Amino acid sequence: MAYTICEPCVDTKDKACVDVCPVDCIYELEPQERSLYIHPDECIDCNACVPECPVDAIFPNDEVPEKWKSYIEANAQAFHRDSATREAELAKLKPKT
């Protein structure tokens, strides 16, 4: 199923989740980017990252709040896009302030 990182991570990105993931599937694809992404094919649904996130950004895909459903596809597509495209797509979900 996989887990998804949603809007609260955008511009937060403290990376507490990265250290606890047993399969290292939470990626900071580029340091300047605004969010981290979970690789949907590598995530083993262990839930370890969820309580670590100080802003409650991570959900199992079937529990992602309705307002953040677009982040499921954004996480999956992130691994097929270049950095500029990822950031442009993310800006559509949460405009830069």
From the list 1, 11, 19, 47, which residue makes contact with ligand SF4 (rule: CB under 6 A)? 47
| Cα–Cα distance for residue pair 15/19, rounded to 1 Å | 7
Q: Does 23 interact with ligand SF4 (rule: CB under 6 A)?
A: yes
Asked if 57 and 11 touch (Cβ cutoff 8 Å), the reply is: no
Q: Does 43 interact with ligand SF4 (rule: CB under 6 A)?
A: yes
Q: Does 46 interact with ligand SF4 (rule: CB under 6 A)?
A: yes
What tokens were used for 40? 């949907």
Nearest-5° angle of CA 9, CA 97, CA 75? Answer: 35
Phi, psi of 3 (to 5 degrees): -110, 160
Q: Does 87 interact with ligand SF4 (rule: CB under 6 A)?
A: no
From the list 4, 5, 40, 71, which residue makes contact with ligand SF4 (rule: CB under 6 A)? 5
Q: Does 38 interact with ligand SF4 (rule: CB under 6 A)?
A: yes
Asked if 75 and 17 touch (Cβ cutoff 8 Å), the reply is: no
Positions in the binding site for ligand SF4 (CB under 6 A): 3, 5, 9, 12-17, 20-21, 23, 25-26, 36, 38, 43-49, 52-53, 55, 57-58
